[in-house]
Structure 1
Protein backbone atom coordinates (compact mmCIF):
# COMPACT_ATOMS: atom_id res chain seq x y z
CA UNK A 1 0.00 0.00 0.00
CA UNK A 2 1.28 3.45 -0.79
CA UNK A 3 1.04 6.70 1.15
CA UNK A 4 -1.31 8.39 1.61
CA UNK A 5 -3.72 5.73 2.79
CA UNK A 6 -7.30 6.96 2.43
CA UNK A 7 -10.51 6.03 4.15
CA UNK A 8 -13.79 7.20 5.54
CA UNK A 9 -17.16 6.37 6.99
CA UNK A 10 -19.95 4.41 5.31
CA UNK A 11 -21.99 7.43 4.25
CA UNK A 12 -19.00 9.43 2.98
CA UNK A 13 -19.48 12.43 5.27
CA UNK A 14 -16.06 11.91 6.86
CA UNK A 15 -12.90 11.26 4.85
CA UNK A 16 -9.33 10.97 6.11
CA UNK A 17 -5.77 10.39 4.90
CA UNK A 18 -2.81 8.74 6.62
CA UNK A 19 0.55 10.27 5.65
CA UNK A 20 2.96 7.79 7.29
CA UNK A 21 3.51 4.06 7.36
CA UNK A 22 1.51 2.29 10.09
CA UNK A 23 3.26 1.14 13.25
CA UNK A 24 1.24 -2.09 13.57
CA UNK A 25 -2.06 -3.81 12.90
CA UNK A 26 -3.72 -6.13 15.39
CA UNK A 27 -7.02 -7.83 16.07
CA UNK A 28 -8.75 -7.20 19.39
CA UNK A 29 -11.21 -9.74 20.77
CA UNK A 30 -12.36 -7.75 23.83
CA UNK A 31 -16.10 -7.44 24.38
CA UNK A 32 -16.03 -3.69 23.63
CA UNK A 33 -14.47 -4.29 20.19
CA UNK A 34 -17.02 -7.01 19.55
CA UNK A 35 -19.80 -4.58 20.37
CA UNK A 36 -18.43 -1.64 18.38
CA UNK A 37 -17.80 -3.77 15.29
CA UNK A 38 -20.99 -5.83 15.64
CA UNK A 39 -18.71 -8.78 14.93
CA UNK A 40 -16.27 -11.17 16.57
CA UNK A 41 -13.41 -8.66 16.84
CA UNK A 42 -12.14 -5.21 15.90
CA UNK A 43 -9.01 -4.35 13.92
CA UNK A 44 -6.76 -1.48 14.93
CA UNK A 45 -4.13 0.08 12.68
CA UNK A 46 -1.81 2.07 14.92
CA UNK A 47 -0.27 5.16 13.30
CA UNK A 48 1.45 8.34 14.44
CA UNK A 49 -1.26 10.78 15.56
CA UNK A 50 0.09 13.65 13.48
CA UNK A 51 0.01 11.47 10.33
CA UNK A 52 -3.81 11.34 10.31
CA UNK A 53 -5.53 14.21 8.54
CA UNK A 54 -9.30 14.55 8.38
CA UNK A 55 -9.97 16.02 4.95
CA UNK A 56 -13.78 16.10 5.08
CA UNK A 57 -16.27 16.30 7.93
CA UNK A 58 -15.86 16.32 11.68
CA UNK A 59 -16.17 13.17 13.78
CA UNK A 60 -18.15 13.11 16.98
CA UNK A 61 -16.51 11.70 20.10
CA UNK A 62 -17.30 9.90 23.32
CA UNK A 63 -15.00 8.47 25.95
CA UNK A 64 -15.25 5.11 27.70
CA UNK A 65 -13.15 2.88 29.92
CA UNK A 66 -11.55 -0.04 28.09
CA UNK A 67 -11.43 -3.58 29.50
CA UNK A 68 -7.89 -2.67 30.60
CA UNK A 69 -9.31 0.14 32.77
CA UNK A 70 -7.73 2.85 30.60
CA UNK A 71 -9.72 5.63 28.93
CA UNK A 72 -10.33 5.50 25.18
CA UNK A 73 -11.76 8.36 23.13
CA UNK A 74 -13.89 6.95 20.32
CA UNK A 75 -14.31 9.03 17.15
CA UNK A 76 -17.17 8.21 14.81
CA UNK A 77 -19.42 9.64 12.11
CA UNK A 78 -22.42 11.38 13.66
CA UNK A 79 -24.54 10.58 10.61
CA UNK A 80 -23.94 6.87 9.89
CA UNK A 81 -22.27 5.86 13.18
CA UNK A 82 -19.15 4.33 11.63
CA UNK A 83 -16.35 4.06 14.21
CA UNK A 84 -13.22 5.57 12.64
CA UNK A 85 -10.55 6.10 15.31
CA UNK A 86 -9.61 5.37 18.91
CA UNK A 87 -7.43 7.83 20.81
CA UNK A 88 -5.85 6.47 23.98
CA UNK A 89 -4.93 8.78 26.86
CA UNK A 90 -1.94 6.59 27.69
CA UNK A 91 -0.54 6.94 24.14
CA UNK A 92 -1.16 10.52 22.92
CA UNK A 93 1.38 10.31 20.07
CA UNK A 94 -0.50 7.50 18.31
CA UNK A 95 -4.05 6.84 17.16
CA UNK A 96 -5.76 3.59 16.23
CA UNK A 97 -7.51 3.74 12.90
CA UNK A 98 -10.31 1.20 12.57
CA UNK A 99 -8.75 -0.67 9.66
CA UNK A 100 -12.01 -1.67 7.99
CA UNK A 101 -12.65 2.02 7.17
CA UNK A 102 -9.68 2.16 4.79
CA UNK A 103 -10.55 2.32 1.09
CA UNK A 104 -8.12 -0.52 0.32
CA UNK A 105 -7.82 -3.31 2.89
CA UNK A 106 -6.48 -5.98 0.53
CA UNK A 107 -2.89 -5.88 1.76
CA UNK A 108 -3.58 -5.66 5.49
CA UNK A 109 -2.18 -8.57 7.52
CA UNK A 110 -2.58 -8.33 11.32
CA UNK A 111 0.42 -9.38 13.40
CA UNK A 112 -1.30 -10.05 16.70
CA UNK A 113 -4.41 -10.92 18.67
CA UNK A 114 -5.32 -9.11 21.90
CA UNK A 115 -7.83 -10.21 24.53
CA UNK A 116 -7.93 -13.78 23.22
CA UNK A 117 -9.62 -14.88 26.46
CA UNK A 118 -12.73 -13.05 25.18
CA UNK A 119 -12.51 -14.45 21.64
CA UNK A 120 -15.55 -16.20 20.24
CA UNK A 121 -15.06 -19.96 20.51
CA UNK A 122 -15.26 -20.46 16.75
CA UNK A 123 -12.45 -17.95 15.99
CA UNK A 124 -9.15 -19.66 15.10
CA UNK A 125 -6.15 -17.94 16.70
CA UNK A 126 -3.02 -18.38 14.58
CA UNK A 127 0.15 -19.40 16.41
CA UNK A 128 2.07 -17.46 13.73
CA UNK A 129 0.91 -14.22 15.34
CA UNK A 130 1.68 -12.57 18.67
CA UNK A 131 -1.16 -13.56 20.99
CA UNK A 132 -2.16 -12.04 24.32
CA UNK A 133 -4.97 -13.17 26.60
CA UNK A 134 -5.46 -9.54 27.68
CA UNK A 135 -3.75 -6.19 27.10
CA UNK A 136 -0.02 -6.57 26.31
CA UNK A 137 2.41 -4.82 28.63
CA UNK A 138 4.65 -3.81 25.72
CA UNK A 139 3.07 -2.88 22.38
CA UNK A 140 6.52 -2.45 20.85
CA UNK A 141 6.65 -6.21 20.21
CA UNK A 142 3.64 -5.73 17.92
CA UNK A 143 5.43 -2.82 16.23
CA UNK A 144 8.57 -4.96 15.71
CA UNK A 145 6.58 -7.84 14.24
CA UNK A 146 4.82 -5.41 11.86
CA UNK A 147 8.18 -4.01 10.66
CA UNK A 148 9.53 -7.53 10.10
CA UNK A 149 6.43 -8.59 8.19
CA UNK A 150 6.37 -5.46 6.01
CA UNK A 151 10.06 -4.98 5.24
Structure 2
Protein backbone atom coordinates (compact mmCIF):
# COMPACT_ATOMS: atom_id res chain seq x y z
CA UNK A 1 0.00 0.00 0.00
CA UNK A 2 3.00 2.33 0.34
CA UNK A 3 2.96 5.04 -0.70
CA UNK A 4 -0.39 6.05 0.72
CA UNK A 5 -1.79 8.93 -1.34
CA UNK A 6 -4.24 11.69 -0.62
CA UNK A 7 -5.16 15.29 -1.12
CA UNK A 8 -7.72 18.02 -0.84
CA UNK A 9 -11.22 18.10 -2.34
CA UNK A 10 -10.31 20.30 -5.30
CA UNK A 11 -7.17 18.21 -6.01
CA UNK A 12 -4.89 21.26 -6.00
CA UNK A 13 -2.83 19.67 -3.20
CA UNK A 14 -1.65 16.07 -3.36
CA UNK A 15 0.55 14.20 -0.90
CA UNK A 16 2.17 10.81 -0.37
CA UNK A 17 3.08 8.95 2.81
CA UNK A 18 6.17 6.76 2.41
CA UNK A 19 6.09 4.83 5.71
CA UNK A 20 3.65 2.77 7.73
CA UNK A 21 1.42 4.86 10.01
CA UNK A 22 2.16 4.86 13.74
CA UNK A 23 -1.46 5.01 14.91
CA UNK A 24 -4.98 6.16 14.10
CA UNK A 25 -7.34 7.62 16.67
CA UNK A 26 -10.49 9.70 16.85
CA UNK A 27 -10.37 13.06 18.59
CA UNK A 28 -13.58 14.38 20.11
CA UNK A 29 -12.25 17.78 21.25
CA UNK A 30 -14.26 20.87 20.33
CA UNK A 31 -11.52 22.05 17.94
CA UNK A 32 -11.65 18.80 15.93
CA UNK A 33 -15.43 19.00 15.88
CA UNK A 34 -15.17 22.49 14.39
CA UNK A 35 -12.45 21.67 11.84
CA UNK A 36 -14.21 18.53 10.64
CA UNK A 37 -17.73 19.99 10.80
CA UNK A 38 -18.61 16.67 12.41
CA UNK A 39 -18.57 14.82 15.73
CA UNK A 40 -14.84 14.10 15.72
CA UNK A 41 -11.63 14.29 13.71
CA UNK A 42 -9.52 11.33 12.57
CA UNK A 43 -5.79 11.64 13.12
CA UNK A 44 -3.38 9.29 11.39
CA UNK A 45 0.01 9.81 13.05
CA UNK A 46 2.99 9.26 10.75
CA UNK A 47 6.67 10.15 10.78
CA UNK A 48 7.01 13.74 9.55
CA UNK A 49 9.81 12.85 7.14
CA UNK A 50 7.59 10.26 5.43
CA UNK A 51 5.10 12.87 4.15
CA UNK A 52 5.85 14.40 0.77
CA UNK A 53 3.72 17.13 -0.81
CA UNK A 54 3.83 16.20 -4.51
CA UNK A 55 1.55 18.96 -5.79
CA UNK A 56 0.51 22.37 -4.48
CA UNK A 57 1.40 24.16 -1.28
CA UNK A 58 -0.80 24.09 1.82
CA UNK A 59 -1.56 27.25 3.76
CA UNK A 60 -1.01 27.24 7.51
CA UNK A 61 -2.95 28.55 10.45
CA UNK A 62 -1.53 28.25 13.96
CA UNK A 63 -3.59 27.88 17.13
CA UNK A 64 -2.88 26.97 20.73
CA UNK A 65 -4.27 23.75 22.13
CA UNK A 66 -5.76 23.37 25.60
CA UNK A 67 -2.26 22.97 27.06
CA UNK A 68 -1.13 26.26 25.50
CA UNK A 69 1.10 24.52 22.94
CA UNK A 70 1.05 25.58 19.30
CA UNK A 71 -0.41 23.43 16.54
CA UNK A 72 0.03 24.29 12.86
CA UNK A 73 -3.06 23.44 10.86
CA UNK A 74 -2.25 22.89 7.18
CA UNK A 75 -5.06 23.20 4.65
CA UNK A 76 -5.84 23.94 1.02
CA UNK A 77 -6.16 27.67 0.42
CA UNK A 78 -8.63 27.04 -2.41
CA UNK A 79 -11.15 24.51 -1.10
CA UNK A 80 -10.33 24.74 2.63
CA UNK A 81 -9.76 21.02 3.20
CA UNK A 82 -7.76 20.42 6.39
CA UNK A 83 -4.89 18.07 5.54
CA UNK A 84 -2.43 17.94 8.45
CA UNK A 85 -1.84 18.99 12.04
CA UNK A 86 1.79 19.69 12.99
CA UNK A 87 2.56 19.96 16.67
CA UNK A 88 5.37 22.49 17.18
CA UNK A 89 6.36 20.65 20.37
CA UNK A 90 6.64 17.22 18.67
CA UNK A 91 8.25 17.76 15.30
CA UNK A 92 9.16 14.15 14.42
CA UNK A 93 5.53 13.21 13.68
CA UNK A 94 2.58 14.79 11.92
CA UNK A 95 -1.13 13.97 12.04
CA UNK A 96 -2.66 13.41 8.65
CA UNK A 97 -6.40 14.05 8.56
CA UNK A 98 -7.25 10.50 7.56
CA UNK A 99 -10.38 11.34 5.57
CA UNK A 100 -8.14 13.01 2.97
CA UNK A 101 -6.56 9.69 1.96
CA UNK A 102 -7.58 8.38 -1.45
CA UNK A 103 -8.34 4.96 0.04
CA UNK A 104 -9.91 5.01 3.50
CA UNK A 105 -11.30 1.47 3.39
CA UNK A 106 -8.50 0.05 5.57
CA UNK A 107 -8.75 2.62 8.36
CA UNK A 108 -9.66 1.29 11.79
CA UNK A 109 -9.05 3.56 14.79
CA UNK A 110 -7.44 2.09 17.89
CA UNK A 111 -8.59 4.77 20.31
CA UNK A 112 -10.53 7.89 21.22
CA UNK A 113 -9.20 11.03 22.90
CA UNK A 114 -11.09 13.90 24.49
CA UNK A 115 -14.08 11.63 25.14
CA UNK A 116 -15.38 14.12 27.72
CA UNK A 117 -16.21 16.42 24.78
CA UNK A 118 -17.80 13.68 22.65
CA UNK A 119 -21.29 14.28 21.32
CA UNK A 120 -23.82 12.50 23.53
CA UNK A 121 -24.99 10.26 20.68
CA UNK A 122 -21.49 8.97 19.81
CA UNK A 123 -20.94 5.42 21.04
CA UNK A 124 -17.43 4.97 22.47
CA UNK A 125 -16.36 1.32 22.22
CA UNK A 126 -14.71 -0.14 25.29
CA UNK A 127 -12.67 -2.31 22.88
CA UNK A 128 -10.59 0.79 22.06
CA UNK A 129 -8.15 2.82 24.14
CA UNK A 130 -10.14 5.76 25.48
CA UNK A 131 -8.92 8.96 27.11
CA UNK A 132 -11.01 11.61 28.83
CA UNK A 133 -8.64 14.33 27.57
CA UNK A 134 -5.22 14.52 25.93
CA UNK A 135 -3.15 11.44 26.82
CA UNK A 136 0.18 12.22 28.45
CA UNK A 137 1.68 9.14 26.81
CA UNK A 138 0.67 8.16 23.26
CA UNK A 139 2.76 4.97 23.33
CA UNK A 140 -0.25 2.74 24.17
CA UNK A 141 -2.01 4.04 21.02
CA UNK A 142 1.09 3.22 18.97
CA UNK A 143 1.40 -0.24 20.53
CA UNK A 144 -2.26 -1.12 19.90
CA UNK A 145 -1.85 -0.02 16.26
CA UNK A 146 1.24 -2.24 15.91
CA UNK A 147 -0.68 -5.21 17.30
CA UNK A 148 -3.39 -4.76 14.68
CA UNK A 149 -0.97 -3.93 11.82
CA UNK A 150 2.11 -6.15 12.28
Given that residues 32 and 67 in structure 1 are in contact (C-alpha distance below 8 angstroms), is that contact kept between their aligned partners in structure 2? Answer: no
State the match for 2:92 in structure 1. 93
Unpaired segments of 5 or more residues in structure 2? none
**Which residue does the alignment assign to 1:130?**
129
Is residue 34 from structure 1 mapped to residue 51 from structure 2 by the alignment? no
- Partners of 1:22 and 1:47 within 8 A in 2: yes
SS of 2:34's partner is: helix
Equivalent residue, structure 1, for 2:18 = 19
- Cα distance between partner residues in 2 of 1:6 and 1:68: 32
Map of 1:68 onto structure 2: 67
| TM-score in terms of structure 2 length | 0.99
SS of the residue corresponding to residue 124 of structure 2 reads coil
Deviation track 1:56-104 (CA, whole Å, cap 9, x = no partner) reads 0000001001133321000000000000000001210000000000000
- Is the Cα contact below 8 Å between 1:30 and 1:67 reproduced in 2? no
**In the TM superposition, what is the alpha-carbon distance from 1:114 to its structure 2 partner?**
0.3
SS at match of 2:19: coil
**Aligned length in residues:** 150
Superposed CA RMSD in Å reads 0.6
Aligned equivalents of 1:24, 1:90: Cα separation in 2: 18
Give the alignment's TM-score, normalised by structure 1.
0.98
CA deviations over 1:101-120 (Å, ceiling 9, x no partner): 00000010000000000000
Structure 1, unmatched stretches of 5+, are none
The 4+ residue runs of structure 1 with deviation greater than 6 A are: none
